Structure 1
Amino acid sequence: MQPLIKQLGYAGLLPFIGLNALTFTDILPQSLVYLYFTQYSAVLLSFFGGVHWYDAISSNKPAHQMYVAMLPTIVGWICLTQTGAPWVLGVLSISYLLMMFYDKQVLTLPKEMVVAYTKLRMQLTTVVVLSHALMIFSR
């Protein structure tokens, strides 16, 4: 796996970690920190749908993968419309886990990338889910 892929993956964690760190300061109102966290999470979740959309059209996959590819965007959008609801971060967190498991089962990857991608995805998703839990409990 190219170093750039790992670097960009880890860089994508910075808003999750940084916004959680901001909950322990008075730099921004807590309501804004929570809003920004939710917005970033919803947008990033949508990205994973795009991965499956591309995989489905480039690998001539069954239509169900295209339908599943739309779910992260729809879930993210619903969460954005309900930002203040107590269940939003839980739904986003569970969605990341479900997409990771779906990736493992469905994505068409070259054999040499499967282990590296799965390992990276597990690391990134673990930090994302823990960040969601921390944000939930810091409210």
Structure 2
Amino acid sequence: MSTVFNTLTPSRFTVLGYGGLLPFVGLTLLIYLASEYRGFLSVALVGYGAVILSFVGALHWGFAMMLQGLLANERQERLVWSVIPALIGWLSMLLPVPWGCLVLAFGFIGHLWQDRKLANIVPGWYLPMRLRLTIVASLCLVISALVLGFES
């Protein structure tokens, strides 16, 4: 995977990563401001969060296949972990929306914890970016859960 990281500048990953936050931020603002559409918007937020959590989980599938320097047991751990975020995302879609938002927020935080296990192998820009992405996505999900939870 180091070849890919060497041929693509970090800014390409950054633009796409932060661009992926736009639905989190936009939907959270709309959930807060547009109460008449809250039901639709909240389902859209949980659906988007589940898709993105599945996506970041799949990164570990790629890491398991491609990263140099992983021991066999580390490779197996990455492979097993890679499917867990998709299961968390699926579960979040089965729950009442406020709970689904909270499950997703904890899923993103748990995934960041798993990412940190690769700190010595991934490029230096990866973990700081993942931290910022996790904070924003998780805050949007928690804020939406609070707004939806206090809705009467």
Query: Is this a same-fold pair by TM over 0.5?
Result: yes
Deviation at 1:80, TM superposition (A): 1.6
Greater C-alpha radius of gyration: 2
Distance in 1 separating the partners of 2:139 and 2:98 = 17
Q: CA shift at 1:81, angstroms? A: 2.5
Deviations 1:77-120 (CA, angstroms, capped at 9, x unpaired): 121223x25422111101101111110113632xxx22x11111
Equivalent in the alignment of 1:80: 93
TM-aligned CA distance change 1:69 to 1:122, over 3 Å: same
Structure 2 equivalent of residue 44 of structure 1? 52
RMSD over aligned CA atoms reads 1.8
Q: State the shift of 1:25 in Å.
A: 3.4
Q: Tell me which moved more, 18-27 or 85-94.
A: 18-27
Q: Is the 8 A contact 2:98 2:146 kept in 1?
A: no
> Following TM superposition, by how much is the alpha carbon of 1:138 offset from its aligned partner in structure 2, in angstroms?
1.2
Asked if 1:17 is matched to 2:30, the reply is no
Q: 1:123 aligns to what SS in structure 2?
A: helix
Q: How much does 1:2 deviate?
A: 2.1
Equivalent of 2:66 in 58, 64, 68:
58
Alignment of 1:1-139 (within 5 A): 1-26=9-34, 29-59=37-67, 61-62=72-73, 63-82=76-95, 84=96, 86-106=98-118, 108-109=121-122, 113-114=123-124, 116-139=125-148
Q: How many residues align?
A: 134
The answer (yes or no) to whether the contact 2:57–2:85 under 8 Å persists in 1 is: yes
TM-score between the two structures when normalised by the length of structure 2: 0.80
Partner letter of residue 45 of structure 2?
F
1:30-63 deviations in whole A, cap 9, x for unaligned? 1111100000000000011110001112236432
Q: Is the 8 A contact 1:22 1:28 kept in 2?
A: no
Unaligned runs of 5+ in 2: 1-8
Q: Runs in 1 of length 4+ with deviation above 4 angstroms?
A: none
